[in-house]
Amino acid sequence: MTTSKLVKKTRSSKRQCKESNESTSSISMESLSRDNKRQCSDSKESTLIPIKSIPQDLLVNVVARVSSESYIDHYNMKVCCRDFFHASQDNYMWNQVSLEKFSLIPWLHKEDALMFDSFMQSCKEGGNIEALYRLGLRELKSFVGNVENGIKYLKMATEKGHLEAKYAYALILLCSYDDDLRKQGVEYMQFLRNSKCVISCRNKVITLLGRLWRRPYGTLERNPTPLCCNKPCKGWNLKKGTWQLVDNEDDDDTIKNSCENCRWDVELDFVYDVLFCNF
């Protein structure tokens, strides 16, 4: 074999080896690319499947729990995912939101205040009785509030069984000049007394209202005639010349023969002074 033929054969072998390596490398890269795409697709599906697999009622409860912590978290949550957004439109979710961690009238910047008001309005429209109760107190307490709307919201919450709303609404009825409304107010207070929750309701109402500015006397007109017209009346606890609030839910044994009308007169005096002040 001549030298030239040997050189040509060697070059041909190198070329075939190089083409073979390139072909193998190309197949390997294509396979690797397909595997990466498949893994990426599987990863995306694995992150989406858990949310899609959550039952709607459970998703609604999750949104309600987050919304109970912060109205800002509520809005952030519903814009981050379509499923959360749809869950946030469910009236049942608004009905289940707890407002325990929210102030009655929070001190916020204008944008945050508008967001909070919208949040509370959605709770009210969703049938949340705590929202009705709080909006009722806000209307009574706020200097720009509407007293008539406040009474209306408290009445709605009372009819739905909210105990603190029943307490506040009953005292408002006791301010009335209408004897039938005052009688209804006494019946509500008797119901709370029999349920042994007058003091707990009073304390919760005072806690919400206590740190806020009081509106002037006369904002809610009050009947000056007391419920008890017996002069003098010795049917109530008298200590050091002053009438005393009852601070024990189990008071039936100690004041069994007391004048109940006197009790509600004293109760009304106390709460009215918390709501309003005499400038």
- Concatenating the DSSP letter of every residue in 218-274 gives TSS----S-S---SS---S-EETTEE-----S--TTTSTTS-HHHHHHHHHHHHHHH
Question: In the prediction, which pLDDT does 11 show?
Answer: 54
Residue 65: both structure tokens together: 């729990």
Nearest to 211 by CA among 133, 137, 116: 137
Contacts of 173 (CB under 8 A, 6+ apart): 181, 182, 184, 185, 188
Which tokens belong to 251?
């008071």
Are the C-beta atoms of residues 166 and 191 closer than 8 Å to each other? yes
Strand blocks (E) in 85-221 = 215-216
Q: Is 161 left (phi over 0), alpha (psi -120 to 50) or beta?
A: left
Say if pTM beats, i.e. exceeds, 0.85.
no
Q: How many CA atoms lie within 13 A of 43 on its CB side?
A: 6
- Give me the residues of the chain with pLDDT under 50, please: 5-9, 25, 27, 29, 32, 42-47, 238-242, 253, 278-279
CB-CB neighbours of 110 under 10 Å:
7
- pLDDT, position 16: 56
44/37 Cα distance (integer angstroms): 11
- Rg of the chain over Cα atoms, rounded to whole angstroms, equals 35
pLDDT score at 161:
93
